[in-house]
Structures are given as C-alpha cells and as structure tokens.
Amino acid sequence: MADKIATREAYGAALAELGEKYDFVVLDADLAAATKTGIFKKKYPERHINCGIAEGNMISVAAGLAAAGTTPFASTFAMFAAGRAFEQIRNSVGYPHLNVKIGATHAGITVGEDGATHQCNEDIALMRTIPGMTIINPVDAVEARAAVEAALLHNGPVYMRFGRYALPVINDADYKFELGKGVTMREGTDVTLIATGLPVHLALTAAEMLAAEGISARVVNIHTIKPLDKDIVLKAAAETGAIVTVEEHSVIGGLGAAVCEVVCEGLPVPVLRVGVEDTFGRSGTVPALLEAYGLTPENIVAKAKAALAQKK
Amino acid sequence: MEMSKKLQLARLAAQVRLNILDEVHAARSGHPGGSLSIADVLTYLYFCEMKVDPKNPKDPARDRFVLSKGHTAPALYAVLAEKGFFPREDLITLRKVDSYLQGHPDMKGTPGVDMSTGSLGLGISAACGMALAAKLKGQDYRTYTVVGDGESEEGQVWEACMFAAHYKLDNLCVMIDWNGLQIDGPVAEVMNPTPHDEKLRAFGFHVIVIDGHNFDEIEAALNEAKTVKGKPTAIILKTVKGKGVSFMENQVGWHGSAPNDEQYEKAVAELKAAL
C-alpha cells in the first residue's frame, strides 16, 4: 500500500468496520471529526455518544457504561484523556478494572502547529503507572486496526495511542497482531533499536543507514508498551549488547524508561534513549518538529554509535 | 405510609445507624457524620425502593446505586449487611488491611457495591453511564446516586448533570445530601454551591426538595421521580449531619473522626433506645 494514512484515521475506520461484528458504543468529547470517531458515527449514529467538552465526565460515564455491561470506546486527544482525565481513568476505570477502551489521538509532538498545550508527551508515563492498564501504540494503519480488535477481545482497560500525522503502511494486510508481543522488524547483531509508533519508521531508516556503515542494527517494534514484552528486550540485550529506544514521547517514563527498567534488572547493557527531552513541545510543521526534537534517522544513528562505544 | 411500615423502617434505620457506629468505632477512623445523615434514605432505597437481590448481587436487571459521596461507605455497608449481602459481623473489619470493606466503596471486593467511588464528583458520572446503558439496551432498571452537598462544588458534578439532562435520563435519580457541613466548615462558608434547586432546574432536572429523614416524604419523592419522563430527577434531601446521635448532630468535627469508647457507648445507648 503506497498511500499514507494516520493511525487516528485507521482507528475511526476500524470502529466503523468492527461495529458490525462487535457490540460496543463510542464516546467522544466534541472532537469526532478529529479523532475520526465521526466515521463510526456516520454508520452507527445511535451508538455514538457525544459528551461535549467534558472529558472527565466522559471517562466516568464510560466506566458506568462498562459497569453495566456495555463496552465503551472513549475518545479525545491524548492530552485530554491521559492528561485532563488521568484521575478519572485511574479511579473510575483502572481501580475497578472496568472494560473501557480509551482511544487517545493526537499524541506526541506530531500534533504539529497547535503546539505545546496539545502535544502530549506524557501519556505513556501516566498510563504505565495505573495497575492493570494495557497500553497500545500502533506503528501504522494495519496495526491500528488490529489493535482496536485486540482491545475489544481483551477484558479490561486499554489505552490506545494514535497519531494525527499520516504514515506509510509497513505491515501487510494479513499481519497477525499479538497483544503484548514485540515484533522484530529487522534482524541485527550489533545494536537493537527498540521503537514504538511513528519512530519505528525512523528506526528502520536508521538501520539502513547503519548497515551502509557496516553496523548491523536490529529493529524491534513495541506496539504494546504495557504489558511490555520483556523477553524480546532481554533477548536484544543478550544478543546485541546495546540498545537505543526511540519514541515520540518524553524520555521520562515512557518506552525508554520501561526498557531501562527491564534491562537494568535483567541484563545490564548500555541503553540510550531518543525522544522528547525534558521539555515541552511547540508549534511547527511535523517535519520541522521531528528535526527540532531529534526524532530523525540521523540522530538515531548517532545514538546507536554512542551505545556501541559504551559496549564493554 | 402505614404506621407499621414506618415503625419498621425507623427500627431498620436505627439498626443501620448502630452498624455505622460499630464500623467507625472498630476502625478508629471513618466518616460518621455524613453516613448518619443518609441512613434513612439508604434504608428506604434498599428495603422499599430498589429491585436488588442479595443472593444475586450482579443480576443485570437489578436497580443500581452509586454512592458518589463515597467517604460515607459505612452507611452503604451498614445497609448492605442488613439487607443480607454479607454478614453483619464483618462490618467491624472496616478499613482493616485484609477486609473487603475498604475505606471507600470497592465494587470488585464488596458484594452489592455497584461502583467504586470515593474521589468526589466521579460517581454521579458513572451513574449517568449506568442509566445510559439501560436506555441503550432497552432495560428498565433505575439508577440512584447520592451526591454530597460539599461534593457538588466539584465541576464534574455539573458536567454529569448536563449529560443527564441532555440524554434525557429519566431513569436516573440524583439525591443531594444537603446536610450543610463539609470538612472545613459550613458548606455555605467554604464554597457555597446553593441554591441547588434552582441550579438543578436550570440544568434540566425535575427537582423535589424534602426532609431527608421523613419516610413519607422520601417515599412520595421517589414515587414522583418514577413518573417523570424525558428528564432526570433530583431529590434534595434536607438532612442533619450526624443524625440520630445527639452529640454528633450538626457538628462539623464528626465529618471524619471516630468516637472513642466512651462516646461510642453513649451513642449506642441513644440508638438502642430507638430500636
């Protein structure tokens, strides 16, 4: 598939497609056109519930729907789901382990021109701390669709992270998604690039660049950040001896931190993190922002070389 | 209401109040004031109003209750025990480390608890979700929730009220426990959320104001609520914080502290007289 498609678009399309097979409802907070739940609404207007601009209420309403045996998807921007409604997600959904699916779109800096207030680089960190929460951050439209179905089949709260920016589709249509299992996208022996979401695309380019310099880089796609596939991380530590993590999220508390935790406790090897450093986002075009925040194949290559230099 | 029914309810409510005292005394902490203020309405709800079965606490067709003011869990547990959801003897395990009676309601661990609550403002939204689920599925169960007057300072309460009216949740009954006191003092002085009646009417509710300790008025209001179509009902319960224990009544200090042994004996003696 040559066309580029944003994971939020795939999310909306998946809801509309799966609405026939599964019994669920979709909640939104006045952002149906942006989160793309509007695609579902068009097909199933009676199953789409607009909650208005009141995200905290929306999450607790979703909890009540789930407590009464209905499966709700609650959608808004990542900033207003994980950020604004963190406590509702923790107390109304997480604590009673209710079957609420949170579709959080516009995550990370690729929100673009809207700038810092809307660029959520903290949601993975926040959601990771909630016991029993499953976190999925798909790499492309195929994986996003698969993630929605996997979330439906999983009994418990799921936080799905989708992006605004259109990306190439890198998985085949027959791709088999396994919740909680990382995917080795490219084999390698010298260093492993562990990425999630959009940065997987960057890591694959970086691996090509490294190969041109005679460095064999493995690329692992972590679509499920929690529960984390510890085996694939420790295997990478054991077999390549150095790791670079890449995420469109703060380097604090996200994928990089999760990988460091596993590696430090299991098999210490150098881990360097690429992501948004301890800073806020800002307005700009997506390519300009990715460049400004070091989310580039070039920076990943540099970090990979630095990690290699740290290998004993 | 027949005199015999009224007497039976009064005795039940006195036992519920005794249970509340047993719980917080044994726990050496908890919230007796706001538990005692809702003892009568909870007694009526569980013994006369709601379709619930202690032997089948997860029955999908049951009426739902959400204690949005979750800190008054002792009142909910006291009624659930009387109704037979779990043994009355377990009440004194409240707040102990291995007890299924948590400091705030836990739907996963406690039979009969329909929603985990405690963080103020969240429960009423969950009640909206339950009421909406009934509408979506064409079920005829009703959902009841009790919100604290202090709790109504939370913005989410009003988000939920907007939602309830917008989706015409006439199967939802929101009760405001208007006891007039919150932790830091009189509600009117801390952050005055009144007038609840006018605000709720403006938000699209059918509003009824009653004496929250009068079973005739409670019965009439709940019956009226069931006749209202196209909008949710709010029942504002004028109550006395600490109701039933003379030295706790209208005393803000009893919002969140437990009686010592001497105070406990005195309270028990007063309540036993009402049995």
Mutate to test the interface with B, among A24, A60, A80, A89 (most CBs of B within 10 A): A60
Q: Chain B closest CA to A126's CA: distance in Å?
A: 18
Q: How many separate domains does chain B show? A: 1
Q: How many CB atoms lie within 10 A of CB B121?
A: 26
**Residue of B60, B125, B133 with shortest CB distance to A57:** B125
Confidence of residue A2 (pLDDT cuts 50, 70, 90): low
State which residues form the domain around B219.
3-274
Contacts of B119 in chain A (CB under 8 A): 87, 91
Q: Count contacts between A and B (CB, < 8 Å).
A: 105
Give CA–CA dist A74/A59, Å, rounded: 7
Tell me if A4 sits within 8 A of A140, measured CB to CB.
no
pLDDT value of position A46: 97
User: With the CA atoms of A19, A24, A25 and A29 taken in that order, what torsion angle do they form, in degrees rounded to the nearest 10?
Assistant: -90
Q: Is B8 buried (19+), middle (13-18) or exposed (0-12) by CB count in 10 A?
A: middle
What backbone phi and psi angles, to 5 degrees, belong to A134?
-100, 135
Q: Up-side HSE of residue B219: CA atoms within 13 Å toward CB?
A: 10
Contacts of A95 in chain B (CB under 8 A): 106, 116
B128 contacts A64? CB cut-off 8 A: yes
Is the predicted pLDDT of residue B275 greater than 90, yes or no?
A: no
Q: Chain B closest CA to A64's CA: distance in Å?
A: 4
Q: Which CATH number characterizes residue B112's domain? A: 3.40.50.970
Whole-complex ipTM: 0.97
Q: Where are the alpha helices (DSSP H) in B28-147?
A: 32-37, 39-44, 73-83, 122-137
Which structural domains are found in chain A, ordered by start? 4-168 (3.40.50.970), 183-310 (3.40.50.920)
Give CA–CA dist A282/A248, Å, rounded: 14
Give CA–CA dist A11/A18, Å, rounded: 10
Rounded to two decimals, the pTM is 0.97
A52 contacts B162? CB cut-off 8 A: yes
> Could you give the 3-state DSSP secondary structure of residue A175?
coil
Q: Which tens digit of pLDDT belongs to each residue from A263-300?
A: 999 999 999 999 999 999 999 999 999 999 999 999 99
**Residue of A52, A64, A91 with shortest CB distance to B119:** A91
Q: Chain B closest CA to A68's CA: distance in Å?
A: 6
Give CA–CA dist B113/A215, Å, rounded: 59
Q: Which residues pair with A221 in a beta bridge?
A: A183, A195
In the block, tokens 């009464």 appear at A68
pLDDT value of position A1: 47
Q: Which residues, 6 or more positions from B266, have their beta carbon under 8 angstroms from its beta carbon?
A: B247
Q: Which tens digit of pLDDT belongs to each residue from B21-80?
A: 999 999 999 999 999 999 999 999 999 999 999 999 999 999 999 999 999 999 999 999
Contacts of A56 in chain B (CB under 8 A): 121-122, 125, 155-156, 159
Q: Is A239 a catalytic residue?
A: no
Tell me if B190 sits within 8 A of B150, measured CB to CB.
yes
Q: Which tens digit of pLDDT belongs to each residue from A187-230?
A: 999 999 999 999 999 999 999 999 999 999 999 999 999 999 99
Strands across the sheet containing A101-105: A48-50, A25-28, A72-77, A101-105, A158-161, A134-136, A224-226
B64 contacts A56? CB cut-off 8 A: no
pLDDT value of position A3: 85
Any CB–CB contact under 8 A between B60 and chain A? Answer: yes
Q: Which tens digit of pLDDT belongs to each residue from B224-259?
A: 999 999 999 999 999 999 999 999 999 999 999 999
For the record, the structure tokens of A84 come out as 């604004």
pLDDT value of position B142: 98
Q: How many CB atoms lie within 10 A of CB B86?
A: 18
Q: Chain B closest CA to A93's CA: distance in Å?
A: 9
B125 contacts A56? CB cut-off 8 A: yes
A70 contacts B125? CB cut-off 8 A: no
Q: How many residues does chain A have?
A: 312
Mutate to test the interface with B, among A26, A44, A47, A61 (most CBs of B within 10 A): A61
